[in-house]
A and B are shown apart, each in its own frame.
Chain A
């Protein structure tokens, strides 16, 4: 992955972000019920999409790592996890910011937000495992396994939390059910925002991935150096 690719990605992200910001704050009309605050929806939803997609990427990269044994897949998984965590945190924060003015509560236990919270805990556990196991040679394997089972669990979590919420009448009224976006401008804004945040994720992922690859190359070089030093010692 060259610096040039990363730079291009960065520029693309910048362009899309500017477009998205313009559309969110200028172009799109204010929603009738919720007022100005509703605009945060256009940040909240793309972040959620990215958080879940990133987690799937962590798991898929983990599967490839276990299957092929190549470090590059583990680096990809780690980069995706770190980046995805950022977006997952943003979902929770924007969700809170949105909830407070609308429902008067910092947190609602509605199904989507709750599921995202659990996803956040899973991300946290994954990253903590990485941090704690970093000095073992098996860290990549452990992380891959945890990533896989966590991602496999997510659909079950989604279903169970949704059932949990519908059967129990909500103490706090839930947010609007679907994305009932009547105005085509809203749809367009959402799509552009999705693209912008996906690009942002991609760019950050590339940067992080490149760093991990560099670290790997350093480790390989250190190993080679060790071997060479030992060989030189032989000649004495």
Chain B
């Protein structure tokens, strides 16, 4: 994994220098949460695990769409993508580094969102959140794996910004279904076994896209 840490640290540094963009991402995630609250107007407001879970995952997808692509997009300037491809680093390693950066960016936004969600929906900060965190982390990982691969393509296609969500959303459906159901169960305090099957699906999804991304990234990364 030569170069993985080098590229990841560089990407994190770029992001930190990039003028509060991760904070903006977190803010956007929160705004989406607010919009959903107004749009759905949950009946009985308070402890509605299902709405909270749904809102959380909508925010995850939207913030992921932007956040998960930042690391790869940062290479567009000055032909840095070509520079990376010419360097001794393997393309699969580049994929892993970009993926890791994407997960970190999404994690920052998601942590903020979860906290605010707990406040908005009057939930409790307890063990259920730990389970929720695991589920959201798994979802973010899968989305990042998917988005990093697709962004490599979308970057090289005109009008590719539209293409990314068009492809990402249908592909993400199983993780979305599993994630929302598992999150609902976690927030409602259901026993662990109850949402095992959803975790299995999330796990299978993550494995699938991590594997696919790792193997296929080299075919699509390039600079045009």
Task: Point out residues on A near B: beta carbons under 8 Å.
Answer: 66, 118, 121-122, 124-125, 128-129, 132-133, 135-136, 138, 141-142, 144-146, 148-150, 152-153, 156-157, 159-161, 163-164, 167
Contact = CB atoms under 8 A, between A and B. Distances in A.
Given A132-B163, A150-B171, A161 B181 contact: no
Which 6 residue pairs spanning A and B have beta carbons closest together?
A160-B174, A121-B170, A125-B167, A133-B157, A156-B174, A160-B177
B157 A145 contact: no
B220 to A, nearest CB: 5
Interface stretch (B29-37, B75-83, B93-101, B200-208): B200-208
B157 A132 contact: yes
Contacts of B5: none
Contacts of A144: 219
Contact of B209 (A132, A138, A149, A164): A149
Given A152-B208, A153-B208, A156-B201, 10 more contacts: A124-B166, A125-B167, A129-B153, A129-B167, A133-B156, A133-B158, A135-B158, A163-B177, A164-B181, A167-B181
27 contacts: A121-B166, A121-B170, A122-B170, A132-B158, A133-B156, A136-B157, A144-B219, A145-B149, A146-B150, A146-B167, A148-B212, A148-B216, A149-B171, A149-B209, A150-B167, A150-B170, A150-B171, A152-B208, A152-B212, A153-B171, A157-B173, A159-B174, A160-B201, A161-B173, A163-B177, A163-B197, A163-B198
A133 B173 CA distance: 25
Contacts of A141: 219-220
B174 A129 contact: no
A26 B222 CA distance: 58
A119 to B, nearest CB: 8
Contacts of A153: 171, 174, 205, 208
Nearest to B211: A152
Interface of B: 146, 149-150, 153, 156-160, 163, 166-167, 169-171, 173-174, 177-178, 181, 197-198, 201, 204-205, 208-209, 212, 216, 219-220, 222, 224
B204 A156 contact: yes
Interface of B: prevailing SS: helix
Interface of A: prevailing SS: helix
Nearest to B216: A145
A118 B170 contact: yes
A84 to B, nearest CB: 15
Nearest to A115: B173
B216 A142 contact: no
Contact of B170 (A125, A133, A159): A125
Contacts of A132: 157-160, 163
Nearest to B212: A149
B208 A136 contact: no
A136 B158 CA distance: 9
A104 to B, nearest CB: 26
B206 to A, nearest CB: 10
A150 B168 CA distance: 10
Contacts of A163: 177, 197-198, 201
Contacts of A138: 156, 220, 222, 224
Contacts of B212: 148-149, 152
A15 B174 CA distance: 41
Given A122-B170, A125-B167, A163-B201, A146 B208 contact: no
Nearest to A144: B219
Contacts of A142: 153, 156-157, 220
Contact of B177 (A148, A150, A164): A164
A84 B153 CA distance: 23
A149 B208 CA distance: 8
Nearest to B171: A153
Nearest to A139: B157
B159 to A, nearest CB: 5
Contacts of A128: 163, 166
Nearest to B208: A152
Contacts of A167: 181
A149 B156 contact: no
A39 B197 CA distance: 37
